[in-house]
Amino acid sequence: MVDGYEIVQSFLTDEEHSHYLKVCDDTYNETSITNHPSFSWNSPGNLNKINGACNYQSEFLKLASHPALVSRAKEILGTEDTLDVYISKFFPMMPEVGMSTFMHQDNYYFQGDPSKMVSCAVYLEDTSKENGCLRLVEDSHRQGIIGHDVVSDVDPWIRWIDESNLGQFNILDLERPAPYAAFFDINLVHGCYPNVSDRTRYSLAWEYIPTSEPSPIDSDEYWCDRNIVG
């Protein structure tokens, strides 16, 4: 992967794209009338994410199982083993107030082997700086784990990287038409702008890991889901 990441554009048919947008709409609308232990909130009424998204919504597992994604993940990992989707999340990014993540490395949290896992984020709506596009810090995966010194306002267990410490890197803002997927090294620094637009910005994120590989972290909590995808 050049600079630690790779973009896969338009991997869904128009019919598939419309289907998954409806799934996102239905799932998002459902959160306003119910509550669930897998829901994580920025503030009351402002949903940050659904943890264990592939367990919560079976259609998300089907999306993670898409042949175009699975085959590319296998190529990146250099494996013919079957793959699992691990630690899946759905980010609705609510209009005007939505937030998902700020600058961080996925591997800060689970300390996995970058040669055995790859991160994937799927964007089902067009992305811009205004609605919270993904930001990739090119080549940052070569630096090992960087200090995460900023405590999240949402959860004290979650910590971010101070963006002022990233001045030596080029940061790429992914302003792109949907649908697309971003694969990136689990050590690559990345984050998102907040959503200040009047529309949602539906995305999902997970790790792909060979089925034969043990989980770096294994927990019964909702955020630590793992399912075979092909």
Which residue ranges make up each domain of the chain?
A: 2-207
pLDDT band at 27 (very low <50, low <70, confident <90, very high): very high
- Is pLDDT above 90 for 157? no
Sign of CA dihedral 217, 8, 53, 90: positive
pLDDT band at 96 (very low <50, low <70, confident <90, very high): very high
Rounded-to-integer distance, Cα 141 and Cα 138, Å: 8
pLDDT band at 116 (very low <50, low <70, confident <90, very high): very high
- Is pLDDT above 90 for 2? no
Q: Which CATH superfamily is domain 2-207 in?
A: q2cbj1_9rhob like domain (2.60.120.620)
Q: What is the pLDDT of residues 49-71, one digit of tens each?
A: 999 999 999 999 999 999 999 99
* Confidence (pLDDT) at 168: 95
How confident is the model over 140-155, as a mean pLDDT? Answer: 91
How confident is the model over 117-138, as a mean pLDDT? Answer: 98
| Residue 40: other Cβ atoms inside 10 A | 17
Give phi and psi for 64, each to the nearest 5: -65, -25
- Is pLDDT above 90 for 33? no
| Residue 101: other Cβ atoms inside 10 A | 21
Q: Is the Cβ–Cβ distance between 192 and 102 less than 8 Å? A: yes
Share the mean pLDDT of the chain: 96
Q: Which amino acid is at 186?
A: I
Collapsed DSSP state (helix, strand, coil) of residue 109: helix
| Residue 83: other Cβ atoms inside 10 A | 25
* Confidence (pLDDT) at 34: 81
pLDDT band at 31 (very low <50, low <70, confident <90, very high): confident
The model's pTM: 0.96
- Is pLDDT above 80 for 154? no
